[in-house]
Chain A
Amino acid sequence: MVISAEEIVKKYKNVFGDKIIDADIQETTRGVLKQKSQKILRMKMEGDIFHDAFSMLCDISYPHVSAPMTFKLHEERMELIYVFSIYWGLSNYSELPIVFKVMIDRKNPQIQSIADLLPGMRLYERETIEMLGIDILGAEDKRHFLIPPSVYNDADKNLTPFRQDLGFGFDDYYKRLEEKMKEKEKKRTDAKDGVQDSSEGGV
């Protein structure tokens, strides 16, 4: 059964009350010959209800994960943004992207794994652990996945590429890399100059 975005919001607010901080439905018109509307549902929620909220989404319709997690920083907290979609495979404008914006602590970020409900999340969760330094509670595999070992060797151990504020981010890493390259270039130029000098001396 397909229930509308508005009804989904109502259902979530009934079950989770104030834990649903905000909900917004964006409507866009598509098509040239025929105008049809498309929606995106965005829901901001507290981190402690995330697993239950996702479980409820699975009951409404089996979700597909559209994008791995991205984030937005606030003063004390951060939003971890999940993009799912439901009603896929029914064709004809049926699909509804649902964006969960989960509020978690900024300095000690933790969130419950949902790979038990959606096994396809496993790699995305590993990516999130690695890129954002977030502890995914209950994740079976927390190993690094995308950043090559050489980067970890060059960087500090607490490399969190997209969280400059949390540890050692890509900004620091590339600054360090640039300094290293400059140093290398300087050594090369010095050595070259030295060779030229001696040859000039020889002449």
Chain B
Amino acid sequence: MSEKISFPLTVGPTHPAFKEPMRLYFRVEGEKVVSTEIDMGYTHRAIEWVATKRNFIQILYLMERVCGICSSTHPNTYSLSIENISGIDPPPRAKYIRSIMNELERLHSHLLWVGVAAHEIGFDTAFYYTWNIREKVLDTLENITGNRINYAIMTIGGVRRDIKENQFKLLREVVGYYREVYDRAYDMFLNDLSVRARIENVGILTPKDAKELCAVGPTARASGIRKDVRCDYPISAYADMDWLEPMVPETVGKKAVGDLYDRTLVRILEVKQSCDIIEWCLDRMPSGPILVEENANKMINRLKKVEGDGLGRYEGPRGECTHYNLLDKKDGPVLMKIKASTFSNITAWEPMFDNAEIADIPIIMSGIDPCIACADRMTFIKGNNKYEMSTSDLHRLSVEKQKRFKR
């Protein structure tokens, strides 16, 4: 019997499946991955350290730049953390606007992910379709805040912009639009046989691993873990939604496997859930002010009297986001700690890659919706011979596999 030989395979630090650079070291036996190691830090910006050099209000805009997609999640969680220790309670209307903004962000984040996932398996028609329909929510965000990303709407003690009467109409139109296209998108991703062949039973994360490795968001929910901060520890308008349930495969009567199919299913179900939440908030939008204190200097002075530590938690599109701030009677936190959702899900990659095929590496990487950037090539080292695979080679492998299923 011939002995199996394993080879090292490095993916990254720059790779088209990543939105930010990182490196994965694999050992492969033929086409099968036998071990995985993660290497990070290529874009470490010391943002928590930078934050300690800024005041409470300046940090809000820094927090928007922690992540390009979650530019509502991080300032929201940061504000919650500061409000937690200072005892500031935002006005009811602000809480509802926050929830609407968060759900609009979830909509565009999930649609972006579904498009990226389609691209990773060589299904570019679906990629263009989802990115096209995503434009509608980005236009809406621009209409409300003036920006497609980095909305600058969250602030300590409320929100900076109100939703006006004509924007109510616009938001209802957007919700209507996504309900109209929902069935087609659902069918395209979840019923198409060639897509199913690529994502069913691929990149499995068992409920035990999801629990022990502290996975969060759709990654954990796809494994049947009913973990959702919006339901477990609700803030803003979510606290009024007794009907809100975590979206898990069981929601549609499917047994959770924890594969890529379930991760796609959960995100698509959450698109519909976001529409329900937005509509619910619009129907019950309280009247009144949107901010506790409009003058930023007065707010800073108020916070300068506070001492202690504040915890903020929120369920972002990728999962639980946590901010922990230490205040010591200064004009900004003396120390802050951010835990972004992706950080929780990275460890969960290891079991997902076990026995995966090389052609499935990009889609498994994308499966957790990592907040990591894209770039170019991968290198194979076989014995003393080194040869490289370009983006197009990797894409070709993926497309070829897709074609095999179509035959």
Residues of A within 8 A of B (CB): 26, 28-34, 36, 38, 40, 42, 62, 64-72, 81, 83, 85, 87-95, 97, 99, 118-123, 144-148, 151, 161-162, 170
Name B46's closest neighbour in chain A (CB-CB): A170
**A34→B232 contact, CB < 8 A:** no
**A90→B232 contact, CB < 8 A:** yes
Verify if B109 is at the interface (C-beta below 8 Å from A): no
Q: Which of B334-363 contact A (CB under 8 A)?
A: 335-337, 339, 343-344, 346-347
**A66→B326 contact, CB < 8 A:** no
Verify if B8 is at the interface (C-beta below 8 Å from A): no
**A91→B41 contact, CB < 8 A:** no
In the complex, A161 Cα to B309 Cα: how many Å?
Answer: 21
Verify if B212 is at the interface (C-beta below 8 Å from A): yes
In the complex, A66 Cα to B226 Cα: how many Å?
Answer: 16
**B286→A32 contact, CB < 8 A:** yes
**B49→A70 contact, CB < 8 A:** no
**B335→A70 contact, CB < 8 A:** yes
In the complex, A30 Cα to B320 Cα: how many Å?
Answer: 18
Residues in B with CB closer than 8 Å to A88 are 227, 232
Given known A89-B226, A91-B231, A145-B41, contact A97–B326 (CB-CB < 8 A): no
Residues of B within 8 A of A (CB): 40-42, 44, 46, 48-49, 84, 89, 92, 95-96, 211-216, 225-229, 231-235, 237, 239-240, 242, 245-246, 284, 286, 309, 311, 313, 320, 322-324, 326, 335-337, 339, 343-344, 346-347
Task: Return the 8 tightest CB-CB contacts between A and B, nearest first.
Answer: A120-B214, A95-B232, A31-B239, A70-B337, A30-B239, A146-B41, A32-B92, A67-B322
**A36→B239 contact, CB < 8 A:** yes
In the complex, A69 Cα to B95 Cα: how many Å?
Answer: 29
Give chain B nearest CB distance to A72 CB in angstroms. 6
In the complex, A16 Cα to B166 Cα: how many Å?
Answer: 60
Q: A64-B320, A70-B337, A93-B233 are in contact. List 4 more A-B contacts (CB 8 A).
A: A68-B337, A72-B309, A89-B232, A90-B232
Residue from B40, B42, B235 having most chain A Cβ neighbours under 10 A: B40
**B347→A70 contact, CB < 8 A:** no
In the complex, A123 Cα to B346 Cα: how many Å?
Answer: 9
Q: List 25 A-B contacts (CB under 8 A).
A: A28-B84, A29-B89, A32-B239, A64-B320, A66-B313, A66-B322, A66-B339, A70-B324, A70-B336, A72-B326, A83-B311, A83-B339, A85-B232, A89-B232, A91-B245, A91-B246, A94-B232, A118-B214, A120-B212, A147-B44, A148-B42, A161-B46, A161-B49, A162-B335, A170-B46
Give chain B nearest CB distance to A32 CB in angstroms. 4
**A71→B335 contact, CB < 8 A:** yes
Residues in B with CB closer than 8 Å to A151 are 44
Contact among A26, A29, A69, A89 for B225, CB-based, below 8 A: A89
Residues in A with CB closer than 8 Å to B89 are 29
Residues in B with CB closer than 8 Å to A93 are 232-234
Give chain B nearest CB distance to A34 CB in angstroms. 6
Given known A32-B92, A162-B49, contact A118–B212 (CB-CB < 8 A): yes
Name A171's closest neighbour in chain B (CB-CB): B49
**A62→B211 contact, CB < 8 A:** yes
Given known A67-B339, A89-B226, contact A123–B347 (CB-CB < 8 A): yes
Given known A70-B337, A120-B212, contact A89–B324 (CB-CB < 8 A): no
Name B235's closest neighbour in chain A (CB-CB): A30
Residues in A with CB closer than 8 Å to B237 are 32
Given known A32-B92, A70-B335, A81-B309, contact A120–B344 (CB-CB < 8 A): yes
Contact among A64, A83, A120 for B227, CB-based, below 8 A: A64
Residues in B with CB closer than 8 Å to A32 are 92, 95-96, 237, 239-240, 286
In the complex, A78 Cα to B173 Cα: how many Å?
Answer: 54
Contact among B84, B324, B344 for A81, CB-based, below 8 A: B324
Residues in B with CB closer than 8 Å to A162 are 48-49, 335
Name A99's closest neighbour in chain B (CB-CB): B311
Residues in B with CB closer than 8 Å to A97 are 233, 311, 313
Residues in A with CB closer than 8 Å to B322 are 66-67, 83
Residue from A29, A36, A69, A120 having most chain B Cβ neighbours under 10 A: A120
Give chain B nearest CB distance to A62 CB in angstroms. 6
Residues in B with CB closer than 8 Å to A65 are 214, 344
Name B326's closest neighbour in chain A (CB-CB): A72
**B235→A92 contact, CB < 8 A:** no
Give chain B nearest CB distance to A24 CB in angstroms. 10
Residues in B with CB closer than 8 Å to A30 are 234-235, 239
Residues in B with CB closer than 8 Å to A40 are 84, 311
**A119→B44 contact, CB < 8 A:** no
Residues in B with CB closer than 8 Å to A144 are 41
In the complex, A28 Cα to B48 Cα: how many Å?
Answer: 26
In the complex, A34 Cα to B241 Cα: how many Å?
Answer: 9
Given known A97-B313, A148-B44, contact A91–B226 (CB-CB < 8 A): yes
Give chain B nearest CB distance to A69 CB in angstroms. 8
